[in-house]
Amino acid sequence: MSNDIAALIQQQVEEAYQAQMPLEIIGNSTKKFYGNSVKGTPLVVSQHSGIISYEPTELVITARAGTPLDEIEEALNKHNQQLAFEPPHFSQPSTDTINTETHNDNLFRIATLGGTIACGLSGPARANNGSARDFVLGCEIINGRGEQLKFGGQVMKNVAGYDISRLMCGSLGTLGIILNVSLKVLPKPEAQTSLSFTLPLDDAYSMLQRINAQAYPITASCYFNNVLTIRLAGNAQAVKATQEKLGGEQQQDGEHFWSTIREQSHSFFNTKQPLWRISTKFNTKLDAHDLTEENTRCLTEWHGALHWLTTKTPATVLRQYVEKIGGHATLFKNHLNDNDVDIFHPLQKPLLQIHKNLKSSFDPENILNRNKMYDFSKP
């Protein structure tokens, strides 16, 4: 059945390539908000679903792109294993009205593996465990010519040049339609606890810098509203010893807290202002008071490497500030629907040319999720 669906997807892409007809790739639309809007004929791929193979002893799982994350995590949980990059689901009630022969609109939109990898988003553990890209071992895709290609495999390799399978991670479907993905998984930690400390901004960053210089089993951190929360996970004895050294207040429901951060159900994200995702180097202090808009709020993750900002500060002003501290800013959720603002941080010409070259190689007629990331028609 899935082979038939893959063949049908391939045929649709081949026809679109011949007709130079743009396509909008649609899974379960849990992350449709991310990136620029796409105008094109809907190509629904969510029916290409199912776990192909899972070898717990080898710490490798291979699944089709339409496989729900819930299904993958349930299979891993039976063997006390996990997707270590903690991907956000953003599952939500469905408001779509798509009706095609290959798509049944459900009352609830469920995150899929393909959308997760295409968006390249990682959760609270990213700073310590690695990003989604770090766990991709191989994939099969259909490029913009309708060719089915396979890259990588099921083992870690040293690669010269582009690692194509990992290149798909974060490409938002602009380089190819993901069919199957092989991922490295990890055992769940033996013990886990979360601690909170009430600290001003400078003291919180000093503490993060100090504890990250030690061999402590810290897998996540979050600073918001003068509270620094850290998660300890790993060997039970190491977690207990670190907790005794650091002190702080133990979170009674730490797992729920980190879920609200990962899934953006925390009160911070309940806003009608634009939500910005700002990436910097580790332990980079971003002070919301430095910006022009009084109502600016900031929540920081990844030991000072990821900053969520809700603000009405003009994009040009914000990005100038972010560039000064060595980062880049993405308009993650455009609540004001301002179409004049670039969603992704503008690229310098050499890097933009690399993006253009890759797009031309994989999708010469620019039919796959056209302009989802950048409008290459602009000079």
Give which of 44, 40, 25, 188 is closest to 119, Cα–Cα.
25
Across the range 161-181, mean pLDDT stands at 90
Please report the pLDDT score of residue 100 as a whole number.
40
Please report the pLDDT score of residue 104 as a whole number.
43
- State the Cα–Cα distance between residues 82 and 76, nearest whole angstrom: 6
pLDDT in tens, 338-371: 778 999 999 999 999 999 999 999 999 999 999 9
- Average pLDDT of the chain? 91
Residue 171 has pLDDT above 50, yes or no: yes
Percent of the chain with pLDDT over 70: 92
Residue 155 has pLDDT above 80, yes or no: no
Please report the pLDDT score of residue 94 as a whole number.
55
Please report the pLDDT score of residue 108 as a whole number.
65
Please report the pLDDT score of residue 379 as a whole number.
62
Residue 285 corresponds to which tokens in the numbers above? 């202090």
Domain ranges of the chain: 2-187, 191-262, 271-333
The CATH number, out of the four listed (1.10.3470, 3.30.70, 3.40.50, 2.40.128), of the domain defined by the range 191-262: 3.30.70
Please report the pLDDT score of residue 237 as a whole number.
96
- State the Cα–Cα distance between residues 79 and 71, nearest whole angstrom: 13
Please report the pLDDT score of residue 154 as a whole number.
61
Please report the pLDDT score of residue 287 as a whole number.
80
Burial-class residue 199 by CB neighbours within 10 Å (0-12, 13-18, 19+).
Answer: middle
Give which of 9, 37, 44, 41 is closest to 23, Cα–Cα.
41
pLDDT in tens, 276-311: 999 999 999 888 777 877 789 999 999 999 999 999
Q: Which residues pair with 193 in a beta bridge?
A: 232
- State the Cα–Cα distance between residues 15 and 217, nearest whole angstrom: 52
**Assigned CATH topology for domain 2-187:** 3.30.465
pLDDT in tens, 61-113: 999 999 999 999 999 999 999 999 999 999 876 554 444 443 444 446 899 99
- Dihedral-angle region of residue 373 (phi above 0 means left; psi in -120 to 50 means alpha; beta otherwise): alpha
pLDDT in tens, 27-64: 999 999 999 999 999 999 999 999 999 999 999 999 99
Q: What angle do CA 128, 133, 136 make, to 5 degrees?
A: 110
Residue 75 corresponds to which tokens in the numbers above? 């299979």
Distance from chain centroid for Cα 17: 28
Please report the pLDDT score of residue 1 as a whole number.
60
- In the structure, what pLDDT confidence band is assigned to residue 376 with cuts at 50, 70 and 90? confident
Residue 159 has pLDDT above 60, yes or no: no
116 contacts: CB under 8 Å, gap ≥ 6: 69, 87, 132
Please report the pLDDT score of residue 97 as a whole number.
44
Residue 83 corresponds to which tokens in the numbers above? 């997707």
265/97: higher pLDDT? 265
8 Å CB contact between 133 and 166: yes
CATH class of 271-333: alpha beta
232 contacts: CB under 8 Å, gap ≥ 6: 191, 192, 193, 194, 195, 216, 217, 218, 219, 239, 242, 243
Measured in residues, the chain has a length of: 379
Residue 223 has pLDDT above 50, yes or no: yes
Q: Do domains 191-262 and 271-333 have the same CATH topology?
A: yes
- In the structure, what pLDDT confidence band is assigned to residue 148 with cuts at 50, 70 and 90? very high
Residue 161 has pLDDT above 60, yes or no: no
Amino acid at residue number 84: A
Please report the pLDDT score of residue 105 as a whole number.
44
